[in-house]
Every structure is written in structure tokens, then in C-alpha cells.
Structure 1
Amino acid sequence: MIKKVKHYLENLIEKSTDKTASQKEEQLLENFVQHEYSHNNDWDETTMGNKDDVNNTIYGKINDSINSETKVRKLWPAYLKYSAAACVVAAAGAFFFLKNDPQAKMLAIQTTNTMDSLKLGDGSTIFLAANSQLSYPESFTGDERNVTLLQGNAFFKVAKDPSHPFVIKSGDIKTKVLGTSFHIKLCKENCNVTVVTGKVNVSSAGESVDLLPNEEAVYNNNKLTKQVVSQTILADWYKEDIELNDVKLEEVFTLLRYKYGVTVDLKEDEILNTRLTVYIKNKASLDSILEQINYITNQKFKAYDDIIKTTK
């Protein structure tokens, strides 16, 4: 397994330095290096060297045009001897990578243009929206069950375990629960935590708020606030079959963004206030859903790669 792991990573580096890697492969490699080295709180400089020097060396190796297989192979044994092996696997529209840790094996899942889900060892289920990334341990140890939402959106159904709180780190905030369901939306500008069932505690830099169903915490500009929200469509995007009754088109497009990883580019925003009812099956294609919307709204929406535009 370790040989396959190293080979895959070396292949990614070769493709990156040869400028033959796809954008998603470049992003995967960048995420791996950043996750392994920039966010490693247990870095031992006595054995692993100066952390900044290692980071500079790694990024330099990746970005330089190193076409020699010998040079590429020299990069990994020197540093992965201590940070352990990583496994990068592509499956079911998501990327997984695995590293060895003295205490626990850490896994991560990164979705591309489709959503994915996973069930953790404690029985909790996480639904990851398109273009999102989450890291988690293969098995939980210690007093807390810790996972990290690195980017994107996720819906959590946390198994109850009062003696082991479930903790999600997302950007600068921490969400702590015992057993509940809630949605986290993480982007560069802010982070939102919306509770569907149970009770959730959200904290950041000395601030803390408790949330109940239909309440939401918003972290923006280094400030944490709480607000009341209606039972939002955001809590339904992960379901297998979805029926949206008399909702705004804007809400439908929000769900499509989570489910299919698309964005909407419209010249006129007024159409977004149009109310409609649509039924979205789990395996439905984006084109078939847009056909429904076009029939109801008398518009001509079409997906161009990952962008929905109107041709009318």
C-alpha cells in the first residue's frame, strides 16, 4: 500500500512539474501539501527540520520545472519518513487521501462536481456538498470526536454520545455538539452554522453562542452573531429525492449549487423571485432539472460546464 501511495503522489508531482496536471489534480496536490505541513501542530523540528524551510522546499519542488524522475523521487522519502505516507485515491466523484499518524489514521474526502457522503466509525453521517473538503480520523480516540471542514458545505447527522462531544473545526470557528443535525457553510468571507435538530455550541476567539433548531450562527469580519432562520432549503439538499413546493427559483438554484457544484450567472435577477414546484430525484441529471424549470418559468436555462446561464 505504501509503495502505491508514494507512487501516486510522485506521479502527481511529475504531472505538476511537467505542466500536464489538470486543475483538479493541481488543487489536490496543493491541498495535500498545505494540510500535511502548514497545518501540522505536532511538527517536531528536532527530527523534521525547520517547518518553514520544509514548506519552502516542498513548494519550490512542486513549482519548479523538474522533469527528472530521480529528482522527483528525492523529494518524498526525505520528509515523508517522518510525516508518514499519504494515500490519494479517486472514487465516486471524490478524492480520498490517507496518512499514518502515531495516534490515529487521518482521512480526508474532497468532492468535485457532485455531492458525497460518509459514515464515521461512531455512527455519525456526513453529507458533503459539491466542491467541499473534510478531514476526519479513521477511528475516534480521546475525549472528543474531532473533524475539520476545510472548505465548502456539509450536513452533519451526529450520533449521540454524551461522554464524547463531536467537534467540527471550520475556519476560525468551532462547533461542538453531543448528538444533533445541522448544516455548516464555509467560504472565504464567512461561516454559517444552521441547526435542524438538537442543540449546538459555536465558538470563536472567546465568543460563544448556543443554537437551537431554526437558529443560525454567522461568523463574519471576526465577529460571531446569532439569528433566527426559517426551516431552510439548505437542510434538504442532501436528501435522495427532493420535492420543493412553492419556493423561489433562487432557492432551487441554491440547492443545485450544493448538489451539482454549479453557479448561476444571470443578466436579470428578477426571475429569481419566480415561485415554482419541482421534484428532484437523487439520480436526476442537471439537464433534466433545468428542463423542468424552463417549462415552468418559460425561460431557457442551460448549463455551460459548471455555470447556469439563460439563453433567452
Structure 2
Amino acid sequence: MIKKSKHILGYLIEKSNRKRTSEAEENVLNDFMHSEYKTPEWDTPTMGNKEQVSEKIYAGILKHIDQKERPVHYLRYIAAASILLLLGLGILLKPKAGTVEKMLTFTTMQAPDSLKLGDGSTIYLAAHSKFHYPAQFTGATRKVQLLQGNAFFNVAKDAQHPFIITSGQLETKVLGTSFHIQLSGKQCHVAVVTGKVNVTTATASIDLIPGEEASFEAEKLTRQKADKALLNNWYKQDITLNNVPLEEVFSLLHYKYGVNFQLANTTIPDTRVTVFVAQKASLESILQQINYITYLKFETYGNTVKVN
């Protein structure tokens, strides 16, 4: 199909350049190229900015075609159609030998989001998080970086290419497993759900198994039982917290939405509630649900929620 499209498109462009197309053929060519410029599937995290790639191809076309022969907008359609063909042939996705990996940054705002990496790994980011990764993994290791916030990693297995995450002063190394990382300032926590994970700092190293958590605070790395809230699938499914202390609810909301809770008194965390947290629910809707049950008042200031 790709070869057929390439043949037809090349034939029409060549015929048009020789000014031998009929009015109907010229209209077909214009309509096709305009449509492909506006509607082709485009994966920005993997392929880069569509407009920039189009401009690059467009600049290359100008070197070989006399601009007087074609209006500018028409040449841009040719560039757009060229992108379509290059994508179909896999040309845009193949890194050149010896080139440096192109790094991309994925940032979430008020709600959690996810992305799939080139190796098949899926990263679920909580709200107010930032993740740095290569468009394509090309070296002996798969290196990424959690710059801020909370994330759940479902890493594709590849024993030949270890997956390494830098988060603050911690380096987490796996071959294929699932785990959480929470980074806040100089503090970092890694909790394992499945598989085995190695966590290291400049002076210490810990191997973790499911249900365990590495905590890095005050320049010290320790091992402990994982926070129960981290083991909930907050990233991809609805959750019902049945008759639990508000402290547990606030902990889950902290991981999911990247907010901190300031409590007016010490009795609030012990209040027991039943709360339903839908996968795509907004933080505001969850707080309204708790307000209806407990009559507590919530005031949100940036990433801080005051509870009165």
C-alpha cells in the first residue's frame, strides 16, 4: 500500500511539474496533499514537532524546485505528503548512526497522565509531575529521569538493556518490573509492586522486593514496608477506600494529584470515611465528596490543600 501510494504521488507530482496534468488531476493532487497535511496521525513525543519537521522537508524541497513554478502553499503540501511517505517507510523513526539521543520532556498539570516509551514501557505520571526521556533508546541501557512528582513505572522486560531512572540523588535500576517513585525536593521514595529493583545513591545500595520501599531522606537511604497508598492502582483504575482513616485518603490523593495537605488539628487524620476515587476524577470532585461526608472545608493554594 505504501509503495502504491508513493508511486501514484510521485507520478502526479512529476506530471504536474511538467505541467501535463489535467484540471481534475491537479485538483486531486491539491486535495490529497492538503488533507494529509491536516489529518495524518502524528506522535509528537516520538517524532517531534510536526510543524518543525514539515519546515525542514519544505526547506529541502526549495533547494531543488524553482519557487516561481509553484506557489508557496503548494510546496508546503508536498512537504506534508513527504512526511506521510517517510512515516510509512519508517525513515523518520530511525536514528542516524552516531547521533545523540533526542531528549523529550513530558509534564502533567492538574490531572494524571501517561505515555508509552519506544521500548514498550508505560509511565503513569501523577499531577504536577515532570519526566525526561529519549525519543528512541539507542544505547546499551535505557536511561530516563523523573524531574519532579510521582510516577508509576511498568517497565518492559529486556535483560540486555537495563532500565535506569534517575530521581534526585537516587538511581533505580531494573530489567523489567513495576514500581512507584515519588520525588519531592531532596526526598525520594521507591516502592516495588512486582519484580526486583535496585536503588543506589553515591554511598549506599538496596535491593527491593514487592511490598518494600526505599526511602531517601536527610542524605540517608533506608528500607521499610511500602506505604499502602503507593500500592493502590491510582494510576489506571477506580479505587474504593472503605472505612479507612482520612490520613490514608490524603496519602492516596497526595500521590495521585501531587498535593500536600495542611491540617487544622490532629484529630482530622483519624476520621474514618468511605471514599470512591474514580480514575479520571478531578481533585475538586474528591474533596467535595469528603466535604459532604465530614463537613470539613478545603482551601486549595497551588499544590497545598488546607483542611479546616
Q: TM-score range by the shorter chain?
A: 0.5 to 0.7
- Over alpha carbons, which structure has the higher Rg? 2
**Partner Cα separation in structure 2 for residue 227 and residue 265 of structure 1:** 25
Instruction: Choose which of 215, 218, 235 in structure 1 pairs with 2:215.
Output: 218
**Partner Cα separation in structure 2 for residue 160 and residue 3 of structure 1:** 31
User: Does residue 162 of the first structure (1) align with residue 159 of the second (2)?
Assistant: yes
Which residue matches 1:66?
none
Instruction: Choose which of 124, 127, 130 in structure 2 pairs with 1:130.
Output: 127
Which residue matches 1:257?
254
Which residue matches 2:106?
109
Which residue matches 1:72?
none
* 1:84-121 deviation line (CA, Å, top 9, x unaligned): xxxxxxxxxxxxxxxx9932211111122221110111
Instruction: Choose which of 285, 288, 292 in structure 2 pairs with 1:291.
Output: 288
Letter matched to residue 147 of structure 1: V
User: Does residue 228 of the first structure (1) align with residue 228 of the second (2)?
Assistant: no
Secondary structure in 2 matching 1:114: coil
Secondary structure in 2 matching 1:265: strand
* 1:44-95 deviation line (CA, Å, top 9, x unaligned): xxxxxxxxxxxxxxxxxxxxxxxxxxxxxxxxxxxxxxxxxxxxxxxxxxxx
Structure 1 position 261, deviation (Å): 3.7
Which residue matches 1:176?
173
Which residue matches 1:94?
none
**Partner Cα separation in structure 2 for residue 220 and residue 261 of structure 1:** 18
RMSD of equivalent CA atoms: 2.5
**Partner Cα separation in structure 1 for residue 109 and residue 124 of structure 2:** 13
Change (3 A) 1:190 1:305: closer
- Calculate percent identity across the aligned residue pairs: 56
**Partner Cα separation in structure 2 for residue 212 and residue 266 of structure 1:** 34
User: Does residue 209 of the first structure (1) align with residue 203 of the second (2)?
Assistant: no
Q: Is the CA contact 1:234–1:255 (under 8 Å) kept in the aligned structure 2?
A: no
Change (3 A) 1:139 1:275: same
Q: Is the CA contact 2:101–2:138 (under 8 Å) kept in the aligned structure 1?
A: yes
Structure 1 position 306, deviation (Å): 4.8
Change (3 A) 1:235 1:103: farther
Instruction: Choose which of 138, 143, 146 in structure 2 pairs with 1:146.
Output: 143
Instruction: Choose which of 219, 233, 241 in structure 2 pairs with 1:244.
Output: 241
Q: Is the CA contact 2:127–2:257 (under 8 Å) kept in the aligned structure 1?
A: yes
Structure 1 position 234, deviation (Å): 5.2
Structure 1 position 139, deviation (Å): 1.1
Change (3 A) 1:262 1:163: same
Structure 1 position 167, deviation (Å): 0.5
Q: TM-score, normalised by structure 1?
A: 0.63
Deviates more, 1:194-203 or 1:213-222: 213-222
**Partner Cα separation in structure 2 for residue 257 and residue 228 of structure 1:** 18
Which residue matches 1:31?
none
1:76-95 mapped onto 2 (5 Å cutoff): none
Structure 1 position 150, deviation (Å): 1.0
**Partner Cα separation in structure 2 for residue 253 and residue 184 of structure 1:** 18
**Partner Cα separation in structure 2 for residue 158 and residue 226 of structure 1:** 22
Secondary structure in 2 matching 1:296: helix
Change (3 A) 1:2 1:167: closer
Secondary structure in 2 matching 1:102: coil
User: Does residue 301 of the first structure (1) align with residue 298 of the second (2)?
Assistant: yes
Secondary structure in 1 matching 2:280: coil
**Partner Cα separation in structure 2 for residue 253 and residue 277 of structure 1:** 12
Secondary structure in 1 matching 2:263: coil
Change (3 A) 1:213 1:221: same
* 1:230-270 deviation line (CA, Å, top 9, x unaligned): 54345432123121223221221222233334332321131
Which consecutive residues of structure 2, in runs of 5 or more, have no partner in the other structure? Answer: 1-47, 53-95
**Partner Cα separation in structure 1 for residue 225 and residue 49 of structure 2:** 49
Change (3 A) 1:195 1:274: same
* 1:121-172 deviation line (CA, Å, top 9, x unaligned): 1111111111111100111112111101111111101111111111001111
**Partner Cα separation in structure 1 for residue 303 and residue 229 of structure 2:** 24
Letter matched to residue 193 of structure 1: V
Number of corresponding residues: 217
Q: Is the CA contact 1:233–1:251 (under 8 Å) kept in the aligned structure 2?
A: no
Change (3 A) 1:186 1:241: same
Change (3 A) 1:182 1:235: farther
Secondary structure in 1 matching 2:144: strand
**Partner Cα separation in structure 1 for residue 136 and residue 190 of structure 2:** 25
